[in-house]
Amino acid sequence: MKGDRVEIMIDAGGEGTRTYEVAATRAGRRVEIATRRGVIEVSEVTRTGSPVRTARFMASRVLALVEYPIADGEGPGEHAPVLAPG
């Protein structure tokens, strides 16, 4: 659903951590997550299931994977508050 997004935090080795985000950018698209053979794959897919954009990460490097589904009645920019690590 448009507005859904997934945030992925990975261990970048000596560089610390990096954060990536995959979001459903158009109406009718959604974000899917799959784990296969030690790889986490996050894809934005169309209604028919064809991937538009895909991000792949080694599962051993992923520190956090956070899903932000859009709640009923909220617009794409009006996500529920998120607590940051502190």
Query: SS3 for the chain, per residue?
Result: CCCCEEEEEEECHHHCEEEEEEECCCCCCEEEEEEECCEEEEEEECCCCCEEEEEEEEHHHEEEEEEECCCCCCCCCCCCCCCCCC
Model confidence at 15, pLDDT cuts 50, 70, 90, reads confident
Model confidence at 74, pLDDT cuts 50, 70, 90, reads low
Stretch 46-65: mean pLDDT: 91
Residue range 22-35, pLDDT digits in tens: 888 888 888 999 99
Stretch 3-12: mean pLDDT: 88
Whether this prediction's pTM lies above 0.95 is answered by no
